[in-house]
Amino acid sequence: MNLNEAVEGPGYKAIPDSTDKIGNLWLYAQGNSYIEGRISKDENESIIECRAEETTSQNLNNEVQLMNQFLESRPKKVKAFPVDNPETQKYLAETIVKDLEIFLNQPFANRQDVFEKVLTIVEKPESDFFTKDAEAADNVAHGASLEIEDLGLTVDDVAQSLSKVVCYKTDTTTLDAVLMQDL
């Protein structure tokens, strides 16, 4: 989701790791009938969409079965943990390896090697993955241009606000607060 990238950075496609960051995503969802139509009234459930390469009944049934297996493997409750904690990093690496096996529909022959490689990536500091400057903010905003324009905002305004958040962020700076102030 491009809006997720606007909150977390280019290439980021996961649930944000803090309540504030999730709040930033909700800012975009509010008033967006497309998104609101996919979330239950109590905000505890959502519709999940997927795309299939082929549309034969057998293939679609297989895709649904794989999706159900994946969803059943996911935790039923979510709790945020600091990513710099070694135990959390091991859990995250193991989860990534399991998800890859589900996605590929086969186990890794060299599973321990794959786990160790994923763990070395997970152990890297966030700064190794994200460039937090005005150019990156501009790229993210332009990448989410359709969603931004659907909200009645301009890409340049969001890029400017996003730049303030990523370049001059304090512990209390959130994208929704900056957008409210700027717009």
37-63 confidence digits (pLDDT tens): 777 777 777 777 777 777 778 888 888
Least confident of 16-20, 112-116, 153-157, 177-181: 16-20
Cβ count near 30 (within 10 Å): 10
Q: Where are the extended beta strands (E) located within 62-106? A: none
Residue 82 phi/psi, 5-degree rounding, is -65, 135
Q: How far is CA 102 from CA 47, 66, 118, in A?
A: 20, 7, 16
Q: How far is CA 92 from CA 5, 81, 83, in A?
A: 20, 10, 8
**pTM score, two decimals?**
0.40
The model's pLDDT over 5-24, given as tens digits with 9 standing for 90+, comes to 665 666 655 566 666 666 66
**pLDDT value at position 40?**
78
